[in-house]
Structure 1
Amino acid sequence: MSALKKFYVQRVEAPVGLLTIVATEQGVCQIHFGELKKAHVSAKLARAGIKPEWVEQDTEFTQTAIQQLKEYFNGTRSSFTMELDLIGTPFQQRVWTELKTIGYGETKTYKEIAEGIGAPKAVRAVGGANNQNPLPIVIPCHRVIGSNGAMVGYGGGLTNKELLLSLESSVKIS
């Protein structure tokens, strides 16, 4: 039996295009590039035992997320302090926690992330968890690159990954 959970949805235009912000009553749980595909997300949540109720409504969490994202894109914020409600497997959560340790304007490889969580042979699994990151930008999966330094994979598209890395390398926040 699935537990009913409210998901509050708001949108903001950003230099990377439309971002859809989703929050629960515990915090921000998802940021989508473009419009939210509710049917796809609902199916994913159902596998986690959650039945979503979608509410088009602003909340304190969505307002905070939008404000902090605007500050990030304006070059006045290098880290995020919003409340989060991460929904994922224990392995994914370990990877996402490790991603948050990558400093603003820095990059790490998938191998370095795997080593950072104590699973040096789990490079492909780290890539999979990175791909499932529900909070791109906030949990900076755009800062993960291939071992050869190449820009590889990004849910928001490689152009946006390069834009985010370029923004971070050109802005010096004191």
Structure 2
Amino acid sequence: MIESVYIETPLGTATIVGDENGISRVSVADMGADKITTTIPIYLQDAVSQLQEYFRGERTVFELSINPPGTDFQKKVWAELVKIPFGKTVSYLDIAKRLGDPKSIRAAATANGKNPLWIIVPCHRVIGSDGSLTGYAGGLWRKKWLLDHESSAKQQSLF
């Protein structure tokens, strides 16, 4: 049975959806505190805990069973996104090259934009070839916040 929860994050209310087969969707939106879930279904407890750890700066890698809906190509792109290290960025062209076809840059960018697993599949780590923050479904301000969060967490760990 598909379950969903709502948790508060520094970037808004996150919705986490999944079942015994894994997490299928994580998204963020501006909602009221009345939406926050108090009882977390067992299938979603790890995702809730790991997202909270991420926002506290205690987690850099997610270890979750995921089951996002998507085409084979989209899933290949998302598999590449998961390989981008915490605190690092790559370009859309880099992703296309990793898929073996630099000409697939637009298709890769489109698949990136359809990523249903906010933060867990780190599409925020993909930027324009010129270093610009391009397109982000959650809003560019959230993308900037996430990149700054990861950058500052990495720097703090050096000292």
Partner Cα separation in structure 1 for residue 44 and residue 78 of structure 2? 20
TM-score normalised by structure 2 residue count? 0.89
Identity percentage over the alignment?
43
Q: Which residue of 2 aligns with 1:10?
A: 5
Moved over 6 A (4+): none
Q: Which residue of 2 aligns with 1:30?
A: 25
The runs of 5 or more residues in structure 1 that have no matched partner are 1-5, 37-56
CA shift, 1:35, in A, is 7.2
TM-score normalised by structure 1 residue count? 0.81
Partner Cα separation in structure 1 for residue 100 and residue 111 of structure 2? 15
Q: Which residue of 2 aligns with 1:39?
A: none
Q: How does 1:20-169 map onto structure 2 within 5 Å?
A: 20-34=15-29, 58-169=40-151
SS at match of 1:171: helix
Given that residues 19 and 44 in structure 2 are in contact (C-alpha distance below 8 angstroms), is that contact kept between their aligned partners in structure 1? no
Partner Cα separation in structure 2 for residue 86 and residue 103 of structure 1? 20
User: RMSD over aligned Cα, in angstroms?
Assistant: 1.6
CA shift, 1:107, in A, is 0.2
The runs of 5 or more residues in structure 2 that have no matched partner are 32-38
Given that residues 20 and 35 in structure 1 are in contact (C-alpha distance below 8 angstroms), is that contact kept between their aligned partners in structure 2? no
Q: Which residue of 2 aligns with 1:19?
A: 14
CA shift, 1:25, in A, is 2.2
